[in-house]
Amino acid sequence: MNGGADLGGLMGLGPITVEKNEPLFHAEWEKRAFGMTIALGACGQWNIDTSRYTRENVHPADYMVTPYYKIWIDAAIRLMKQRSMISETEIETGTVIGASAAVNRKLKASDVDAVLSAGGPADRPTQGHPVWQVGDHIKTVNNHPRTHTRLPRYARDKTGEITKVHGFHVFPDSNALGLGEDPRWLYQVTFKSRDLWGEQGNPLDTISLDLWEPYLRALQ
């Protein structure tokens, strides 16, 4: 979706300020927000793509002025409410009122390190063969879905080169909507900077993106 999270190429935001020796978290509440989000995700009530879609599915003006981990917490609350894990009254009062919906699993404190180290692999057993091979030149689709996608605006309808075939991976556009994993071939696609940014791009720069097969089409 063309929301507040898709900032690539957006002007007027000023330079990116790199904080020297930046800490992992800037406040104690951010640590708690991160931990709560990880623990809730481990319950198995939603997948990472649904979580990402929920975070970005807010008004762009609100997204840009809301602290990063506040976006995470707000999204987690919406997901819990949708699944009857918590009620609005419980959120307002901070008090448990009734039994919540059962969850698929729980993350124990003793298992956190192992779970985080394992990550959440999204590769799946291959089916068929990839349409594209390393060295092929393709063009990305010019599509602007209102739902989750991993093809950013600045890379749509652009010409690039396949520089790696990653394998068969969960397709986030489907997975985010609860339509199943729908795995597809995933490629590393490399673009010349000027093909994305025009004359303002550095002619020596390239940008590589991991893009799924449905995002790509043959050159005409």
Q: Which residues of the chain does CATH 2.30.30.50 include?
A: 137-218
Query: Once rounded to an integer, what is the mean pLDDT over residues 141-162?
Result: 97
Q: What is the pLDDT of residues 161-179, one digit of tens each?
A: 999 999 999 999 999 999 9
Backbone φ and ψ for 63, nearest 5 degrees, come out as -60, -40
* Among 109-123, 134-148, 165-179, the least confident range: 109-123
Q: Which residues of the chain does CATH 1.10.472.20 include?
A: 28-118
Angle subtended by helix axes 68-82 and 28-41, to nearest 10: 30
The b-or-e profile of 176-205 (16+ CB within 10 A means b, else e) is beeeeeebbbbbbbebbeeebbeeebeeee
- What is the assigned CATH class of domain 28-118? mainly alpha
Between CA 2 and CA 155 the distance in angstroms is 12
> Does the structure show a pLDDT above 90 at 108?
no
Query: Once rounded to an integer, what is the mean pLDDT over residues 9-27?
Result: 90
Asked whether 185 and 168 are in contact (CB, 8 A), the reply is yes
Locate 100 and state its tokens. 């919540």
CATH fold group of domain 137-218 = SH3 type barrels. (2.30.30)
pTM for the whole structure = 0.91
- Which one-letter DSSP state was computed for residue 111? G
Between CA 194 and CA 115 the distance in angstroms is 41
